């Protein structure tokens, strides 16, 4: 063999090895458990507390990235704020899509929701209208007055039936949303419109959890008839679809009919519809878009606030010191002759910190809504395929000791404060509780207003303590893990702080006046 031939062979061999190495590096996926043929990691999907399991699994593999194969569908869990920022924010054009979930969209009827729209023109149009509806001027005109009235109703109901506080919380969140959006003023959690929203939201959260329904992995299953073995999901979808339609369509029709018969109360729906009529731009397409956007706002406001306030009440029961500090902070700014209002938000740093800690300690959606890659990507030399489901592990991010301190499992508002009681700007706001990047919850400000005013008002008027029966007992700290993280029913004593506080509550304005 001549030297030239040998040299050429060596060059070819080296080039071949380099190409193979480069391709192997390009297709080196993030770490994760080894799967089975065909089904991949379906058996690795946890039955409960997935956010904890995925966090521990990621630590086992020494990475904040965790990769699984869901019977051919790649899934990536991001367990750090750095990874979330690098992908959902810096590479938003790739990571802002949503996966198609047949159970949720096709069978339950959630295709209307902006939260599930694919990233594109339809999403941008809906998002623009939604942002307009939640503008500061609309908030002050509709949401804030209704919110303050329903907080007053919440306080009055605590005086009458303190043991039923969980129902009062759902009335507070749902009533604020219904009245401000549609001009509907419920006075009980049993209100049909509230029942529709509560049951519809529960189905949504369960349906978006990875592995919750095989149909989301094998879309052809949607053609399995209800009577066929394994077709029980069809029965479930048929039942829950009624509530989704009631939440979106029936509420909007109520607002329309009220306008027609002259009984409509001012609301987002009535104002937006009247503007379409007045300027001659009404069309069936625009009305459908408005209906769907308002339905999205209703669901977002209803689901995110009651559970957060409930968590804060639980924390106050468990921590009398925090309760006392919160009451003292409110008294120092508000006094004892009026109730807190919208304009007080931001003037009491301890309440700001208490609300932030509630969002951080028990984020209501601990494993965020799924994102979807529009195309393949390479991150930290890892290959991330196109059409990968990507989820931010909100729990892991908000329980990172490097960010929030070693005692992340404890409820401690002081972590957000400086020694002088002002807010510590170096400790990040727990924005992960509202989602990520361009898909962050657009109702974030509205939800925060509601939690803040409710908590400040509760502290101004009530003591919240452990039950003594016959001895003092800690309440249950177990949570229902069905997509939305909600405290299981627990007992506590809720009593007015004084006769003056009781009189102040009784004299407050109530909804519908």
Binding residues for heme: 441
Hey, which residues does 378 pair with through a beta bridge?
A: 383
Number of Cα atoms under 13 Å in the Cβ half of residue 476: 9
CB 65 within 8 A of CB 29: no
Bridging pattern class, strands 493-496 and 479-482: unpaired
Pull the structure tokens for residue 268.
């987002």
Q: How many angstroms separate the most distant Cα atoms in the chain?
A: 106
Distance between CA 244 and CA 193 in Å, rounded?
10
DSSP state of 417: B
Pull the structure tokens for residue 309.
């306030």
How would you label 251-282 residue by residue, b for 16+ Cβ within 10 Å and e otherwise?
bbebbeebbeeeebeebbbbebbeeeeeeeee
Binding-site residue set: 441
E strands, 361-468, are: 371-372, 377-379, 382-384, 389-392, 462-465, 467-468
Residue 10's alpha-carbon distances to 15, 24, 464, in angstroms, are: 8, 21, 80
CB 250 within 8 A of CB 191: no
**Residue 83 burial (CB < 10 Å; 0-12/13-18/19+)?**
buried
DSSP state of 97: B
DSSP state of 480: E
Neighbours of 289 (CB within 10 A): 17
Helix 165-182, helix 268-278: angle, nearest 10: 10
DSSP state of 1: -
Query: What's the CA dihedral at 336, 341, 346, 348 to 10 degrees?
Result: 10
290 contacts: CB under 8 Å, gap ≥ 6: 129, 252, 269, 272, 273, 276
509 contacts: CB under 8 Å, gap ≥ 6: 148, 149, 152
């Amino acid at each position: 063999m001549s030297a030239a031939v040998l040299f050429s062979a060596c060059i070819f061999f080296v080039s071949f090895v380099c190409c193979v190495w480069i391709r192997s590096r390009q297709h080196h996926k993030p770490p994760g458990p080894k799967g089975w043929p065909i089904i991949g990691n379906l058996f690795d999907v946890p039955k409960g507390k997935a956010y904890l399991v995925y966090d521990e699994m990621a630590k086992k593999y020494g990475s904040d990235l965790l990769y699984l194969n869901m019977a051919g569908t790649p899934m990536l869990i991001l367990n750090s704020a750095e990874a979330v920022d690098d992908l959902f924010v810096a590479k938003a054009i790739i990571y802002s899509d949503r996966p198609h979930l047949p159970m949720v969209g096709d069978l339950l009827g959630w295709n209307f929701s902006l939260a599930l729209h694919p990233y594109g023109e339809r999403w941008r149009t809906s998002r623009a209208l939604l942002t307009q509806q939640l503008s500061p001027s609309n908030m002050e005109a509709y949401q804030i007055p209704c919110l303050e009235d329903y907080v007053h109703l919440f306080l009055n109901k605590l005086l009458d039936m303190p043991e039923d506080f969980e129902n009062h919380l759902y009335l507070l969140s749902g009533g604020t949303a219904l009245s401000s959006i549609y001009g509907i003023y419920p006075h009980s959690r049993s209100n049909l419109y509230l029942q529709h929203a509560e049951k519809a939201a529960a189905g949504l959260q369960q349906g978006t959890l990875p592995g919750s329904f095989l149909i989301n992995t094998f879309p052809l299953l949607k053609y399995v008839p209800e009577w066929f073995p394994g077709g029980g999901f069809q029965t479930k979808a048929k039942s829950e679809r009624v509530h989704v339609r009631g939440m979106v369509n029936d509420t909007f029709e109520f607002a329309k009919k009220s306008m027609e018969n002259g009984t409509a109360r001012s609301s987002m729906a009535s104002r937006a519809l009247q503007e379409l009529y007045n300027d001659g731009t009404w069309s069936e397409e625009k009305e459908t878009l408005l209906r769907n956007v308002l339905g999205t706002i209703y669901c977002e406001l209803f689901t995110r606030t009651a559970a957060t306030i409930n968590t804060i009440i639980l924390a106050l029961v468990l921590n009398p010191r925090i309760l006392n500090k919160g009451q003292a902070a409110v008294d120092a700014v508000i006094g004892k002759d009026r109730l807190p209002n919208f304009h007080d938000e931001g003037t009491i740093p301890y309440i700001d910190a208490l609300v932030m800690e509630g969002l951080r300690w028990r984020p209501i959606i601990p494993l965020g809504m799924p994102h979807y890659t529009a195309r393949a990507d390479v991150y930290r030399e890892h290959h991330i395929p196109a059409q990968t489901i990507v989820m931010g592990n909100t729990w892991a991010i908000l329980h990172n000791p490097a960010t929030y301190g070693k005692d992340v499992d404890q409820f401690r508002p002081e972590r957000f404060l400086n020694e002088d009681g002002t807010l510590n700007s170096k400790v990040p706001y727990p924005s992960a509780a509202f989602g990520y990047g361009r898909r962050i919850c657009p109702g974030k400000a509205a939800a925060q207003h509601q939690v803040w005013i409710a908590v400040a008002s509760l502290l101004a008027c009530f003591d919240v303590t452990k039950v003594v029966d016959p001895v003092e007992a800690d309440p249950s700290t177990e949570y229902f893990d069905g997509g939305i993280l909600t405290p299981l029913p627990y007992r506590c004593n809720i009593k007015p702080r004084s006769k003056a506080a009781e009189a102040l509550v009784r004299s407050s304005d109530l909804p519908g006046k």
